[in-house]
Structure 1
Amino acid sequence: MYDRVGAPPASRTDFVLESIKEAILNGTLPPGQALVESELATSLGVSKTPVREALKTLAGSGLVMMSPYKGASVRTVDAAMANSVYDVRMLMEPEALRRAIMLKASFSHARETLTQPRTDLAKLSLANRSFHRALYVGCGNPLMISILDGLRDQAALITVAGWGICPTWDDEAAEHHAILAAAEQGKSDLAAELLRSHIQTFADRVIEELPHGIR
């Protein structure tokens, strides 16, 4: 995170939200780290109010845990959490992609994400989530899109944890290219199966290494 004293009031909460999210996803704020409002406010050069609002938003997206006794902390990734998130993704994402292909949706943004520089975990995570959203956003079902969007932050947290266990982003990039090629060729069933396998392979590898037990 970095200091930005004097941020416009209208954008201050968004700035704080994105700063804390980036710090969580790049490991600066590791899982289990206590999130003290006064410390974050000083670090970011803002009052505690936008910090408090940002933490509430991050709790809603699953990146932060709120306790009436211990306060806020970074969500700890465990097998139970990963199972829940990836179970829904494997059920919905491939079907959403299949529908997007049938509706002849554009996948130009998905291709753009494959050319973005991969310089750190936060940027890798951002490119990864952008790629997956570009696959399902054209499915024609707003509720399906909303549900998958709601999982993106938690999925990103799991992805970064998985890369910490085993850095497999090069293999995943190759899988992304194969999925996108099938989608652009209109091969809906093949693209959906490649996507399902892509999600399943990552989940199987990561969940096995994560601590078991609900937090």
Structure 2
Amino acid sequence: MYDQAGTPPASRTDFVLESIKEAILNGELKPGQALVETDLAAWLTVSKTPVREALKTLVGSGLVVMSPYKGAAVRTVDAAMAAALYDVRLLLEPEALRRAVELGASFDEAALALEDTDDLARRSLANRRFHRALYAGCGNPLMVEILDGLRDQAALVTVAGWGLHPTWEAEAAEHRAILAAATDRDAGLATELLRRHIRTFADRLTEELPDVVR
């Protein structure tokens, strides 16, 4: 497992973490699937220790849930989870973009993240990079930290949405329009386009996902 620059992970735990995360986001590990330490260790040819540490991190990021009786499992997305996540994003992300535009932040990273690929994991990574590049220059480190903390869950929800309807081509066009407004320094238009982009996806998901997953 290497990152896009071809750099190996810093540690065995990082390797395990990124491998499991990618398998979740590309659907190889299904929602609700049990994550058994011995099975994952054998799959990745590592000991159980880095697997255990990686699962703890994934629980913290919201991709994995832990039950005292059933152990670890891939988180299943339901309408309530999606609604709560997108409620926070709608409050913070457009405002962060508005501030970034008004501060004259660079959006070069957002342009580089406009990737066209059929691989779900790579598309999800590019989507994450694009949205982070929009808010990273907002000038408020705490706002960035909060939004960064939502990125893994947002990726999980996005992939779930794409599984219902592959809408990424329409979303890519929306990304290009948002980026054009941001680079033109039209804070009002960029903010409105981003708000509409997030809300459209959220509204569709909350209608189509199950109400509660037990």
What TM-score results when the alignment is normalised by the length of structure 1? 0.94
The DSSP-based 3-state class of the residue aligned with 1:34 is coil
Structure 1 residues 209 and 110: alpha-carbon distance in aligned structure 2, compared to 1, 3 A threshold: same
Contact 1:80–1:214, Cα closer than 8 Å, also in 2: no
Cα distance between partner residues in 2 of 1:145 and 1:95: 11
Cα distance, 1:214 vs structure 2: 5.5
Map 1:54-133; keep pairs closer than 5 Å.
Answer: 54-114=54-114, 116-133=115-132
Q: Which residue of 2 aligns with 1:5?
A: none
- Aligned twin of 2:176: 177
Question: Are 1:37 and 1:48, in contact at CA under 8 Å, matched by a contact in 2?
Answer: yes
Cα RMSD (Å) = 1.4
Distance, in Å, in 2 between the alignment partners of 1:182 and 1:39 is 48
For residues 206 and 46 of structure 2, what CA distance do their matches in structure 1 show? 38
> SS in structure 2 opposite 1:20?
helix
What is residue 197 of structure 1 aligned with on the other side?
Answer: 196
- Off by >3 Å, runs of 4+ in structure 1: none
- Residue 10 of structure 1: how far off its partner (Å): 5.6
Give 1:9 deviation, angstroms: 10
Gaps of 5+ in 1: 2-7
CA contact (8 A) 2:77 2:213 kept: no
Unaligned 5+ runs, structure 2:
2-7
Report the CA distance shift for 1:28/1:195 in structure 2 as closer, same or farther (over 3 A): same
| Deviation for aligned residue 1:127 | 0.4
TM-score (norm 2): 0.95
Question: What is residue 49 of structure 1 aligned with on the other side?
Answer: 49
* 8 Å Cα contact 1:162-1:206 kept in structure 2: yes
Percent identity at matched positions? 75
Match of 1:13 in 2: 13
- How many positions carry a matched residue from both structures? 208
TM superposition shift of 1:117:
3.8
Distance 1:189 1:167 in 2: 29
